[in-house]
Structure 1
């Protein structure tokens, strides 16, 4: 199946032309509620976010640390479904047709709906990241491939060079390099290790390499942006959203993202 270029590829190309690094922001759909998620998506973009990554709630999100696991639980208690997320993306697209959207989730959620990937594309999504599917898998055989959706894969510090080559060959959009040995929200970034591994990944693919997991401060963002093509912020945002969910006052979050955007493009 031949992959067709998407809004995600256009955004990355546009950033490259202006020598800018990509800022990707993650949030869990339905936490604290869908209306707030929609508001946050627009607010993120206005604050300088280039690409949105929407977490699809799942009962056992194995790659996530306690902060994001709790957000999944809250979203599921709100009965947030994949169909709700398609509605959310469609609603967002009425006002924003340019910002790429990635759906990040787990295989069972998508396999439960035989038309999930077609609906994802039709709603306005641009890519999927299926956490519990090995990146070198034949996604077409698994029935989770769509020519209109980029297929993003994770590469960890422990991934072998042989697997890295296979993952790069089967991926599209960009490669997501996991900067930490652990779940999301961990700490102790090892910049030297990240640089070595990202350089090897780049020797295996022409795809951009984004770095995520454990990025909390503008200093973290700045350091990683120097060795990658973009950064992904997740747990810190999810925690901030939860802390502000009662008041529904998200200005502090937008200010934080604005600072992160400046930090990676100094």
Structure 2
């Protein structure tokens, strides 16, 4: 099944999304992380499209979605979750699975915990819902959360979306970096290089502090609603390390758990293995609903 490419105005913002598969089949919504876009799912979409309906949006200011001026738009995880849910509503998608990666976790866990009857399954790949998952990498973020005007923290954080910082995120602790296409960070640089985008990234770094107080709410959602969950995690990720994946075991009963010896963007180095696990999981779990 071919992937098609669309834009739709949601709450006044043109949102770009990739779509593939038969709309009558179970829907999987792919939520990307920082600093990437739906481009990170290009291979996974092709692998799943024969069996599932797949949607992958870009957040405002990312990929090919519109980047409203920061003075006119709230670049927050709360707003991103509202836009994604509104997109699904306007597309008539009432039941769906969510793939949550990095920033996709706080976006998607907001949607899931507030709309539990809409959720068929959850797939988590290097995304956090426990403070155990926020280790040393997060020290400059915590400094920024404490003081929004901390220039040293802001300068450190800005290096993450510079070219070398982008490459590091894709290649750090990857066993064979030759399998990671440089096109990844070149594509990311397209949207990160837009005027004012650096300020947008810092605004979201600061807003990430709003996710942590919601962790208990999401954990209660896991306990109360027992969602079917698949974890496919790069255990050697410095950003969201494997200990954060292990933490889900405390509250998620219906859990299938897989760690891979790689870093943050696990799909780049273990895409075939992860794709096969996802297809098998969705075929078994969505067939029940």
Q: Same fold (TM over 0.5)?
A: no
TM-score, length-scaled by structure 1? 0.31
Which is helix-richer, 1 or 2?
Answer: 2
TM-score, length-scaled by structure 2? 0.29
Q: Looking at both structures, which has the greater relative contact order when contacts are Cα pairs under 8 Å and sequence separation is at least 6?
A: 1
